[in-house]
Amino acid sequence: MHIPDGYLSPKTCVLFYAAMAPVWYLASKKVETAVGAARLPLLALGAAFTFVIMMFNIPVPGGSTGHMTGGVIVAVVLGPWAGVVAMTLTVALQAFLFGDGGVTAIGANAFNMAFVMPFAGYYS
């Protein structure tokens, strides 16, 4: 579930953006060298896959919903840094286009879904 706007304090949102900024920079550099131009379409396909799979919500008790993310699949196929890039793009697009999660909470949502998840899945 995405964290919506207004749920986190402004300080927390800024903290997560500040924490994720170096991760996003490092991920872009790592993906540039590790994935390469030949496999870049595969990264785009992985990002599209994560976007589509996150559209299918599964009801959970308490009136909320959950969904699969696909970040681990991208991490297993292309590496965890590619998972960071694909999931960050997905989280940002969903926040801007559909209001799924908040724009102010993109840093926190990216930390949970685009940073922790690909690395935990890749190294476990």
In the predicted model, what is the mean pLDDT of residues 64-88?
92
**pLDDT top residue among 99 and 46:** 46
Domain count, the chain: 1
Among 7, 39, 15, 11, residue whose Cα is nearest residue 85: 39
* pLDDT of 1: 65
DSSP 96-113: III-SS-STTHHHHHIII
Nearest CA to 40 out of 52, 51, 28, 50 is that of 28
- Mean pLDDT in residue range 110-117: 95
Q: Which amino acid is at 42?
A: L
Whether residue 50 lies inside any domain: the answer is: yes
Paired tokens of 69:
């993310």
Residue 28 lies in a domain: yes
- Provide mean pLDDT across the span 19-46: 93
Other beta carbons less than 10 A from residue 60's beta carbon = 11
- CB contact at 8 A, 89 and 115: no
Does 60 score more than 90 pLDDT? no
Percent of residues, the chain, with pLDDT higher than 70? 99
Q: What is the CATH number of the domain that holds 44?
A: 1.10.1760.20
Stronger pLDDT, 61 or 63, i.e. the higher one:
61
Q: Residue 105 in contact with residue 4, Cβ under 8 Å? A: yes
What is the domain extent for residue 110? 10-32+40-55+66-123
For the ranges 37-41, 61-65, 73-77, which has the lowest average pLDDT? 61-65
- What integer pLDDT is reported at residue 100 of this predicted model? 82
Q: Is 17 exposed, middle or buried (0-12, 13-18, 19+ CB in 10 A)?
A: middle
